[in-house]
């Protein structure tokens, strides 16, 4: 059985455009660049999200650029960067599992432009292909990794928080910002001094590729 879903040709799915599964709006459209984040189930206490929703008067939101949705996301993101919860993704086995899931259908169902596996949440930037619903792609990541992670940890129960956050990239300037934001997240959280030092990220892979590409051009070290 293939991990993350079969590679064989599958029926094309209709894209949903703007829709909502609860307190966060989602945008599903082909060829759009989407900045995505999802988190472990204990990354933010549920009662805090309920409290913040009440303070911001967040109900069921649908539509582009909803200010209340962004404010809620910003609060959640600030909290999770503090490292709340058990931070299962500090375990290299789980971080590698999630990274492999992101990369598995790269160039087949989407283009993966940037990613970062943080201790209690994940950031990615993808361009979704026609017929591949954004929600289905994220579900495949979370479903497979949650089962395997629970097996590794010998635990049961929910692993990921149910919803996810996505934001489509408006222009080239926004694209540069989104990539920098994702790759600099470990630096911002005080986990490393330089983005390339964080093992499970696109910044690390770029640095390794650069070193390999330029290995023959490096001057020999003195004896």
pLDDT in tens, 170-216: 889 989 999 999 999 999 999 999 999 999 999 999 888 877 777 65
Domain boundaries, the chain: 17-217
Say whether pLDDT at 158 is over 90.
yes
Say whether pLDDT at 62 is over 60.
no
Structure tokens at 205: 């892979």
The C-alpha atoms of residue 16 and residue 27 are separated, in whole angstroms, by 7
Specify which of 25-29, 61-65, 182-186 reaches the highest per-range mean pLDDT.
182-186
Say whether pLDDT at 221 is over 50.
no
SS3 11: coil
Q: Could you tell me what percent of the chain has a pLDDT over 70?
A: 78
**DSSP annotation string for 27-60:** EE-TT-EEEEEEEBTTSS-HHHHHHHHHHHT--S
**Residue of 14 and 26 predicted with greater confidence:** 14
**Residue of 144 and 77 predicted with greater confidence:** 144
The whole-chain average pLDDT of the chain stands at 82
CA dist list (Å): 32 to 69, 126, 128: 20, 8, 6
Say whether pLDDT at 75 is over 90.
no
SS3 203: helix
Q: Would you state the pLDDT for residue 18?
A: 47
Q: Would you state the pLDDT for residue 223?
A: 45
Fold of 17-217: Alpha-Beta Plaits (3.30.70)
Residue 111: how many CB atoms within 10 A of its CB?
14
Q: Would you state the pLDDT for residue 64?
A: 43
Residue 96 pLDDT class (50, 70, 90 cuts) = very high
């Amino acid at each position: 059985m293939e991990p993350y879903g079969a590679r064989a040709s599958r029926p094309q799915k209709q894209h949903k455009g703007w829709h909502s599964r609860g307190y966060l709006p989602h945008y599903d459209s082909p060829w759009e660049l989407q900045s995505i984040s999802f988190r472990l189930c204990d990354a933010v206490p549920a009662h805090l999200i309920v409290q913040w929703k009440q303070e911001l008067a967040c109900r069921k939101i649908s539509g582009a650029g909803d200010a209340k949705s962004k404010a809620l996301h910003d609060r959640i993101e600030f909290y999770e960067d503090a490292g709340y919860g058990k931070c299962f993704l500090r375990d290299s086995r789980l971080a590698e599992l999630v990274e492999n899931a992101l990369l598995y259908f790269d160039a087949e169902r989407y283009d993966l432009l940037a990613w970062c596996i943080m201790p209690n949440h994940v950031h990615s930037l993808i361009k979704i292909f026609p017929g591949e619903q954004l929600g289905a792609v994220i579900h495949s990541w979370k479903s497979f990794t949650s089962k395997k992670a629970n097996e590794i940890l010998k635990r049961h129960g929910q692993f990921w928080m149910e919803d996810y956050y996505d934001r489509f990239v408006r222009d080239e300037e926004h694209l540069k910002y989104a990539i920098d934001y994702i790759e600099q997240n470990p630096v911002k959280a005080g986990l490393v001094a330089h983005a390339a030092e964080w093992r499970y990220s696109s910044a690390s892979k770029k640095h390794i590729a650069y070193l390999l590409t330029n290995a023959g051009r490096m001057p020999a070290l003195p004896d």
